[in-house]
Amino acid sequence: MNTGSQIPTLQYLDSQGHLSANYKGTLTIDTLLKGYRVMVLSRLIDERMITLQRQGVITFAMSALGEEACAVASAAALNLEDWIYPQYREAGVLFWRGFKPIQYIHHMFGDREDLIFGRQMPNHFGARDLNVVTVSSPIGTKIPHAAGCAYAMKIKQDKSVAICYFGEGATSEGDFHAGVNFAAVRKAPVIFFCRNNGYAISTPCSKQFACPGIAEKGFGYGIEAKRVDGNDFFAVHEVVKDAREYCLEGKGPILIEAMTYRMGAHSTSDDPSLYREESEVEVWKEKCPILRLRRYLEKQGAWNEEKERKLLDEINEEIQQAIEQAKSTPKPPLEYIVEHVYSNVPPKLLKQYEEIQAGEQ
């Protein structure tokens, strides 16, 4: 983040797992244990997918390494009826809502069981039955979509909100301006959740924007804005829970800036050693959201080495089985690349399809 911000960063849980006495929230040990499991699942799946890409088994992978609390703790603060507009680092939201590792891995393989039949890049997931709108590659495009969805819910007097996740890089896009301004004027019940992870691929925040941070941008649109430690499960949960209530009281949208760090590469097509020092990553390893929550749970007597080993074994086994299953699942039929979008396949697409088909024979 650039220096000079006057907006404080809400934090309750420090890196050693001490919870501040100021925390008056509602999180129970059961919810925290679920949150911990989902964050570990998200981490282990990400790590395996990166390895599979390196082995040439899948084409591409992105990860949420170090940013897991943003997705999982925010999902824990929402209702299932709330609409989710994720970017590509929010698989944790899906897992919190019950998406199975096998479903996710079919998606990463783009096979016949992938809900979108391999028509999107890996990490561009979605789940209609979980109210999770499919990720789209062009950065920021989901911001006006979420604003429109929330405005529709307001008109229909639904008691739900929309949440739109994006990185700090997305706030330099025109869609950020259009979406946030529209939501502000219409008082649409939408939470704009910005993960400020320090980089937009290789561009650090210092070269992205001249204002002190992202939260400040919200004030420019006349909306409420908060900054939170994005690696603190308690703080993220509380700020999103409060934001949801704020939206439902008809007060309009809210912008949350979650301070976090992208521990991994931007994607498997990126090499961060070209633009940042390893020492920077080392500092953030101690602030890891998973480690922090584990330390807290251990202090409460709710977690120990034996439980940890069992959890890792269970998840790794489930992931391994899912990978085997995906490996033996056929690819979607070739015609699916042109079908299911238009009622009649447009001539240009048909021509391309016929060319590919001829090349395959």
Ligand X SMILES: Cc1ncc(C[n+]2csc(CCOP(=O)(O)OP(=O)(O)O)c2C)c(N)n1
Catalytic member of 89, 227, 237, 262: 262
Contact partner at residue 266 from Mg ion, ligand X, none, CB < 5 to 8 Å by partner kind? ligand X
Contact partner at residue 287 from Mg ion, ligand X, none, CB < 5 to 8 Å by partner kind? none
Which of the ranges 144-152, 161-169, 218-226, 345-353 carries the binding residues for ligand X, by CB under 6 A?
161-169
The closest of 208, 221, 220 to 147, measured between CA atoms, is 221
Catalytic member of 43, 48, 266, 294: 266
Site for ligand X in 167-186 (CB under 6 A): 167-170
Q: What burial class does residue 286 get, using C-beta atoms within 10 Å of its C-beta: 0-12 exposed, 13-18 middle, 19+ buried?
A: exposed
Site for ligand X in 288-347 (CB under 6 A): none
Q: Rounded CA gap, 18 and 322, in Å? A: 36
- In 3-state terms the chain splits into helix, strand, coil percentages (rounded to 5) of 50, 10, 40
Strands 162-167 and 190-196: parallel
Which of the ranges 111-119, 191-199, 249-257, 319-327 carries the binding residues for ligand X, by CB under 6 A?
191-199
145 annotated active-site: no
The closest of 62, 68, 26 to 292, measured between CA atoms, is 68
Beta strand segments in the chain, E: 9-10, 83-85, 162-167, 190-196, 199-200, 203-204, 224-229, 254-259
37 annotated active-site: no
Closer of 133 and 338 to ligand X (Cβ): 133
Strands 190-196 and 199-200: unpaired
Contact partner at residue 214 from Mg ion, ligand X, none, CB < 5 to 8 Å by partner kind? none
Closer of 103 and 203 to Mg ion (Cβ): 203
Closer of 40 and 194 to Mg ion (Cβ): 194
The closest of 12, 2, 9, 84 to 233, measured between CA atoms, is 12
C-beta of 97: minimal distance to ligand X in Å? Answer: 20
Strands 224-229 and 203-204: unpaired
The closest of 355, 334, 316 to 44, measured between CA atoms, is 316
From residue 229 to residue 268, the character string flagging contacts with ligand X as x (rule: CB under 6 A) and all else as - is ---------------------------------x---x--
Answer yes or no: are the C-beta atoms of 233 and 32 closer than 8 Å.
yes
* Identified binder of Mg ion from the candidate list 167, 213, 230, 332, rule CB under 5 A: 167
107 annotated active-site: no
C-beta of 289: minimal distance to ligand X in Å? Answer: 15
| Sequence-distant (≥ 6) Cβ neighbours of residue 82 within 8 angstroms | 131, 160, 161, 162, 163, 244
Q: Is 137 in the site for ligand X (CB under 6 A)?
A: yes
Site for Mg ion in 188-217 (CB under 5 A): 197, 200
Residues that bind ligand X (CB under 6 A): 89, 137-139, 166-170, 195, 197, 199-201, 262, 266
Catalytic residues: 262, 266, 275
